[in-house]
Amino acid sequence: DKGAYPYYMLKEVDEQPAVMRRIVSEYFDQAGNPSVDEAILAEMAKADHIYIIGAGTSYHAGLVGARLLEKYAHIPTSVNISSEFAYDRPLLSQKPFFIFLSQSGETADSRQVLVDVNEHQWPSLTLTNVDKSTLSREATFTMLLYAGPEIAVASTKAYTAQIAVEAVLAKALGMYLADDQAQAFDLRAQLGAVANGMQAITDSKEDLEAIAARFLSKPRNAFYIGRGLDWTVSIEAALKLKEISYVQAEGFASGELKHGTIALIEEGTPVIGIITQDRTAGLTRSNLEETQARGANAITIVARHLAQDNDTIVIPDVDADLTPLLSVVPAQLLAYYTSLGKGLDVDKPRNLAKSVTVM
Ligand code: F6R
């Protein structure tokens, strides 16, 4: 039931702080240590390579998870689009471990990969929002997202829940492997800070509605740009805008713009820079300025400690690897208000189904 909300999507965006807190209560013990089934950690510890498999938004969440797993567990991790992996399987390592990301647990493209994985008797873990879903039943292990039912076609809280659960897994596996950095990473406190930060962003809806109306309601195309983790959020942000507002949006590695795509920038093209990482903030800013010099309307989503006078949207500071949990939220709301402003059916965009059970 969406209660007083006009659309499920807005309700689900607003539920994200509560989902973060639920994940903390499900996956941490009294002492503040992550509690993950030891059988999962023991199996993962044997792997020489982790293959994350997902489609759409779940694939995007995997891009963030890979970074966390590599940082804390030191196991090389690649992220794969399920429909590609199913028909063009790359050369695998000797001891692969598979992580399936799927909100619904029913995506046919991802299941196709799992069938192959099971035929080879490779170990697997599904992160899903739906207990006893197909991908949960057929994988070796399951971890639930605890996001509550997601009804809107555009995935929001499942993306942030997937990243949070991946972070729990990365910390737990890192600790299991006796990594000092994993031990020192106070993820429980950080997820609490994330929940508060999400709340602050969802409390500023009016600003985001105004930005959407001013910059995104008319143009037929738009760009999100960033580097590293900010790039991974840029492709998720662009997907949200595309699927519910029908603006042709592209997420782009900002350093790549000058290698061709900048030709598309014209007067009034919205270019939204995501800037949360110390090492690349200056670079993304100068890429954004290059688009501005060609007529773009530059908009910024910036972590507070990097903010400057003219920034558009400033988000609270959290652990550098967890910034996607916050930077995506304004993008979800910009997509929502752009769709709403055009009078579209936000929850049920054309041509799309909630769960894609065909290949
Ligand atoms: C986008 C969206 C889709 C899904 C994709 C995978 O907002 O919802 O891209 O993420 O169809 O679905 P799941 O996660 O259920 O496997």
ipTM for the predicted complex: 0.99
Report phi then psi at 279, rounded to 5: -70, -25
8 Å CB contact between 332 and 306: no
Q: Are 323 and 237 in contact (CB under 8 A)?
A: no
Beta bridge partners of 274: 301
CA atoms within 13 A on the CB side of 314: 8
Predicted confidence at residue 1, as pLDDT, reads 86
**Backbone φ/ψ region at 154: left (φ over 0), alpha (ψ -120 to 50), beta:** beta
Measured from the Cβ of residue 237, the count of other Cβ atoms closer than 10 Å reads: 30
Residues with Cβ within 8 Å of residue 58, at least 6 apart in sequence? 101, 102, 103, 107, 110, 155, 158, 159, 162
Indicate if ligand 1 lies below 6 Å from the C-beta of 232: no
Q: Indicate if ligand 1 lies below 6 Å from the C-beta of 276.
A: no
> Quick one: CA dihedral 195, 214, 241, 230, positive or negative?
negative
* Best mutation site among 13, 127, 356 for ligand 1 pocket (most ligand atoms within 8 Å of CB): 356
Q: Point out the ligand 1 atom lying closest to the alpha carbon of residue 104.
A: 15
Tokens linked to 221: 């195309």
Ligand 1 touching residue 112 (CB < 6 A): no
- 344/349 Cα distance (integer angstroms): 8
DSSP 34: B
Cα 325 to chain centroid distance, Å, stands at 7
**pLDDT in 10s for each residue of the chain, 359 residues:** 899 999 999 999 999 999 999 999 999 999 999 999 999 999 999 999 999 999 999 999 999 999 999 999 999 999 999 999 999 999 999 999 999 999 999 999 999 999 999 999 999 999 999 999 999 999 999 999 999 999 999 999 999 999 999 999 999 999 999 999 999 999 999 999 999 999 999 999 999 999 999 999 999 999 999 999 999 999 999 999 999 999 999 999 999 999 999 999 999 999 999 999 999 999 999 999 999 999 999 999 999 999 999 999 999 999 999 999 999 999 999 999 999 999 999 999 989 888 888 88
Cα-Cα-Cα-Cα torsion 153, 156, 160, 161, nearest 10 degrees, comes to -50
Give one word for 130, left, alpha or beta, with left for phi > 0 and alpha for psi -120 to 50: beta
Ligand 1: residue whose CA is nearest its atom 8: 155
202 lines ligand 1 (CB under 6 A): no
The single residue listed with the structure tokens 């752009």 is 338
Residue 79 contacts residue 107 (beta carbons within 8 Å): no
8 Å CB contact between 161 and 58: no
SS3 at position 252? strand
Residue among 57, 82, 357 to mutate when testing ligand 1 (max atoms within 8 A of CB): 57
